[in-house]
């Protein structure tokens, strides 16, 4: 399909970082790009081959695989690929193949470099995409509170060495900090025990203070990784206690540094893609909180962080599907596993349940259904083992209601649209966030287009969906305060999920319904709504800025919990924020409330 200059320009305005370019630069860019039309199941490039440029998907779906043929990701509208290899050595580090007939926009290498040289926003985007923040440079510039182990193991100075050695063995650690109260007296390592205690043949009741290193060098949480590296290199040591105000708060070891460098989203995806059991995958997903800490500490925006976190869940799902088929045999008919909820929107953070379903080919028979029941149980049980806990509302493929032939799914959506009662509104809200994960992708293509057209044409249904989108409101109180949770376990906190990001998620879903937009991601929906005129430029900018601030605040709260050894959650005490942060967060909530009011009164945000 030949694309006009105007079509290309409008499209690029909806894709970051090109949306931030000046009008003349964007116009010039649109004249220099190439447009490729690629058939279904066709190779775009192969491993090690020279890359013709950076690709952006205008239409269709693309599958990225690694050198072993394992699926790394499925990409769709507005997703880009190829930049990592292009900017590294000009050669492909993965394989790319179309999953459906596709139209691709290609930015030639010289054009990419020109944009990076002339526009900081493009340079920052590609530098972040190709991972310049990963590896030794990121380690050297990261704050120590990201690198260190919190709550280090300690012992009193009079503890016998043998007892201290047992603690190290049982905790699988190589050092103990020797303390009196909060005061650090010294540090004892396995090397001290072997060299000073065992080799010297000291008595069994020798106190640890006799072999410890007294007054060890320490650093503070605000120092950076290079300080750790330089001291370790200069002094030939592998353990550095971290103190703050004279109080021991952590420790950094060579193992911590190695682990930090090893934890990145691509490495976790690789390990999951090669796992043989759900337990092996669970060992990998247990590292997600640490990855979350590193990604946020590296300055990545929330939409990048949540996309990378979601990629891990997608990979785990596809690997479990492959293991299920290896155990159960080939599927009797084509099927498609889809995610909804935060995974469907590619917005997972450090805490998430699972929301999924299966669409079956209409050739399926009753005799085939036990196979898919077993497959759904295998995958959902595996996801639960990986920390994606079962959905309390049973919005999962294990529920027979959500494992049905395509014709039944068509009836579901038509019924919800025709009779938008409260249950239909709730179900439609969840199912409008569907995103294919693995299987026969073509089962969803017509269904999505038909549903959006039918829903958009039914003004009563749209009105009910608007009403449903206003059920979650920002936590605004009187006199510029917050309306916190009043009772229960999370008393005096803000629910940054249901009263923070969800109101924006719901608004974006309404805009996508009004504009028949196929995007599932909230930020992508808002930008597409602006591009198509559903949302005004000013309205979109305000809501995007508000959403970004709310989402970043939520992520930072989860990171704070993860860094302290806790489990990430969505309940933020306002007292944890500075006056400046509270003021801006409240302003963001006011923007969301204003947009809700406009939608609720039937006013568009145009003009």
For the chain, helix, strand, coil in percent to 5 are 50, 15, 30
pLDDT tens, 444-489? 988 988 888 999 899 999 998 998 889 999 999 876 689 999 999 9
Q: Which of 487, 605, 481, 503 is nearest to 554 (CA)?
A: 503
The pLDDT, as a whole number, for residue 134 is 40
User: What mean pLDDT comes out for the span 51-76?
Assistant: 79
- With 80 as the cut, is the pLDDT of residue 124 above it? no
- With 70 as the cut, is the pLDDT of residue 81 above it? yes
- With 70 as the cut, is the pLDDT of residue 160 above it? yes
How far is Cα 237 from Cα 8, in angstroms, rounded to an integer? Answer: 57
- Structure-model confidence comparison of residues 384 and 140, the more confident one: 384
pLDDT tens, 562-580? 888 888 999 999 999 998 8
The pLDDT, as a whole number, for residue 147 is 86
The pLDDT, as a whole number, for residue 370 is 97
Does residue 568 contact residue 349 with C-beta atoms inside 8 Å?
Answer: yes
User: What mean pLDDT value characterizes the chain?
Assistant: 88
C-beta atoms surrounding 482 within 10 Å: 19
Q: Which residue has the tokens 């460098």?
A: 261
- With 60 as the cut, is the pLDDT of residue 401 above it? yes
The pLDDT, as a whole number, for residue 607 is 34
The pLDDT, as a whole number, for residue 180 is 92
pLDDT tens, 181-201? 889 999 999 999 999 999 999
Binned at pLDDT 50, 70 and 90, residue 177 comes out as very high
Highest mean pLDDT pick, 57-66, 104-113, 123-132: 104-113
Buried b (16+ CB within 10 A) or exposed e, 355-380: bbbbbbbeebeeebbebbeebbebbb
Q: At what angle are helices 265-273 and 288-297 packed, to 10 degrees?
A: 150
How far is Cα 269 from Cα 314, in angstroms, rounded to an integer? Answer: 9
Does residue 171 contact residue 151 with C-beta atoms inside 8 Å?
Answer: no
Does residue 182 contact residue 247 with C-beta atoms inside 8 Å?
Answer: yes
Buried b (16+ CB within 10 A) or exposed e, 295-313: bbbbebbbbbbbbbbbbbb
Q: Give me the numbers of helices (H) and strands (E) for the chain, helices first please.
A: 25, 21
User: What mean pLDDT comes out for the span 65-81?
Assistant: 72
C-beta atoms surrounding 118 within 10 Å: 11
On whether the 5-130 domain is CATH 2.60.120.10, my answer is yes
User: What mean pLDDT comes out for the span 32-58?
Assistant: 91
pTM above 0.75, yes or no: no
Q: Classify residue 167 as exposed, middle or buried by CB count within 10 Å of its CB (0-12, 13-18, 19+).
A: middle
- Structure-model confidence comparison of residues 89 and 397, the more confident one: 397
User: What mean pLDDT comes out for the span 137-154?
Assistant: 80
User: What mean pLDDT comes out for the span 543-554?
Assistant: 95
- Lookup: tokens for 380: 């959902």
User: What mean pLDDT comes out for the span 264-272?
Assistant: 83
- With 90 as the cut, is the pLDDT of residue 406 above it? yes
Binned at pLDDT 50, 70 and 90, residue 44 comes out as very high
CA trace torsion 259, 261, 267, 271 (10° rounding): -20
* Domain residue ranges of the chain, discontinuous segments joined by +: 5-130, 140-260, 264-467, 470-600
The pLDDT, as a whole number, for residue 128 is 55
At the top level of CATH, the class of 264-467 is alpha beta
Is the four-CA dihedral 597, 603, 604, 605 of positive or negative sign?
Answer: negative
> For 51, which DSSP code?
P
How far is Cα 223 from Cα 177, in angstroms, rounded to an integer? Answer: 20
Binned at pLDDT 50, 70 and 90, residue 606 comes out as very low
Binned at pLDDT 50, 70 and 90, residue 73 comes out as low
The architecture that CATH gives domain 470-600 is Up-down Bundle (1.20)
Does residue 264 contact residue 134 with C-beta atoms inside 8 Å?
Answer: yes
How far is Cα 227 from Cα 384, in angstroms, rounded to an integer? Answer: 40
When the candidates are 3.10.105.10, 3.90.79.10, 3.10.580.10, 3.30.300.30, the CATH number that belongs to 140-260 is 3.10.580.10
How far is Cα 47 from Cα 85, in angstroms, rounded to an integer? Answer: 10
The pLDDT, as a whole number, for residue 222 is 80
Task: Tell me the CA distances in angstroms from 48 to 39, 44, 94, 436, 502, one per residue in order.
Answer: 22, 12, 8, 29, 43
The pLDDT, as a whole number, for residue 132 is 40
3-class SS at 607?
Answer: coil
User: What mean pLDDT comes out for the span 37-47?
Assistant: 91
- Lookup: tokens for 367: 């005799």
- Lookup: tokens for 157: 């100075």
Task: Tell me the CA distances in angstroms from 45 to 38, 93, 494, one per residue in order.
Answer: 12, 10, 48
Q: At what angle are helices 442-457 and 459-469 packed, to 10 degrees?
A: 100
Look at 57-71, 204-218, 357-371 and tell me which has the smallest mean pLDDT.
57-71
Query: Which bin fits 156, alpha (ψ -120 to 50), beta or left (φ > 0)?
Result: beta
């Amino acid at each position: 399909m030949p694309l006009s200059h105007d079509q290309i320009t409008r499209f690029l305005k909806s894709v970051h970082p090109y949306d931030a370019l000046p009008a003349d630069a964007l116009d010039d860019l649109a004249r220099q790009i190439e447009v490729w039309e690629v058939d279904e199941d066709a190779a775009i490039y192969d491993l090690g081959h020279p890359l013709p440029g950076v690709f952006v998907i205008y239409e269709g779906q693309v599958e990225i695989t690694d050198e072993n043929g394992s699926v790394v990701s499925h990409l769709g509208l507005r997703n880009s690929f190829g930049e990592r290899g292009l900017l590294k050595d000009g050669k492909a580090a993965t394989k790319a193949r179309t999953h459906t007939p596709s139209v691709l926009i290609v930015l030639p290498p010289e054009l990419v470099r020109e944009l990076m040289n002339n526009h900081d926003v493009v340079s920052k985007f590609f530098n972040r995409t190709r991972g310049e923040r990963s590896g030794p440079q990121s380690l050297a510039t990261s704050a120590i509170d990201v690198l260190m182990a919190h709550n280090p193991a300690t012992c009193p100075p009079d503890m016998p060495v043998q007892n201290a050695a047992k603690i190290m063995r049982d905790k699988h650690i190589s050092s103990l900090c020797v303390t009196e109260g909060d005061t650090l007296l010294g540090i004892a390592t396995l090397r001290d025990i072997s060299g000073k205690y065992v080799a010297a043949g000291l008595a069994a009741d020798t106190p640890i203070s006799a072999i410890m290193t007294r007054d060890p060098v320490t650093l503070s949480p605000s120092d950076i990784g290079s300080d750790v590296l330089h001291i370790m290199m200069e002094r030939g040591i592998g353990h550095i206690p971290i103190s703050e105000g004279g109080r021991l708060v952590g420790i950094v070891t060579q193992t911590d540094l190695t682990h930090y460098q090893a934890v990145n989203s691509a490495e976790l995806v690789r390990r999951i893609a090669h796992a043989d059991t759900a337990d092996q995958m669970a060992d990998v997903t247990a590292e997600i909180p640490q990855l979350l800490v590193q990604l946020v500490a590296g300055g990545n925006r929330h939409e990048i962080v949540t996309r990378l976190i979601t990629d891990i869940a997608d990979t785990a799902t596809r690997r479990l599907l492959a293991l299920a088929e290896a155990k159960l045999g080939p599927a009797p008919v084509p099927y498609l596993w889809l995610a909804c909820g935060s995974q469907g929107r590619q917005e997972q953070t450090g805490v998430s349940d699972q929301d999924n379903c299966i669409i079956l080919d209409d050739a399926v028979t009753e005799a085939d259904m036990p196979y898919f029941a077993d497959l759904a149980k295998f995958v959902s049980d595996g996801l639960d083992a990986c920390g994606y806990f079962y959905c309390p509302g049973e919005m999962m493929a294990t529920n027979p209601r959500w494992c049905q032939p395509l014709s039944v799914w068509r009836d579901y959506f038509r019924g919800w649209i025709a009779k938008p009662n409260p249950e239909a509104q709730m179900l439609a809200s969840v199912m409008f966030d569907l995103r294919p994960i693995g299987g026969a992708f073509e089962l969803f293509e017509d269904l999505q287009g038909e549903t959006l057209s039918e829903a958009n044409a039914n003004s009563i249904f749209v009105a009910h969906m608007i009403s449903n989108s206003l059920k979650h409101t920002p936590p605004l109180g009187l006199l510029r305060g917050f309306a916190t949770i009043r009772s229960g376990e999370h008393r005096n906190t803000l629910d940054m999920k249901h009263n923070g990001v969800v109101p924006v998620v719901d608004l974006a879903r309404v805009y996508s319904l009004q504009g028949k937009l196929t995007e599932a991601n909230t930020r992508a929906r808002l930008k597409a709504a602006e591009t198509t005129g559903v949302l005004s430029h000013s309205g979109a900018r305000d809501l995007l800025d508000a959403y970004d601030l709310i989402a970043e605040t939520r992520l930072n709260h989860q990171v704070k919990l993860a860094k302290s050894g806790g489990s990430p959650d969505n309940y933020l005490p306002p007292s944890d924020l500075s006056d400046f942060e509270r003021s801006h967060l409240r302003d963001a909530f006011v923007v969301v409330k204003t947009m809700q009011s406009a939608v609720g009164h039937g006013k568009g945000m145009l003009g």
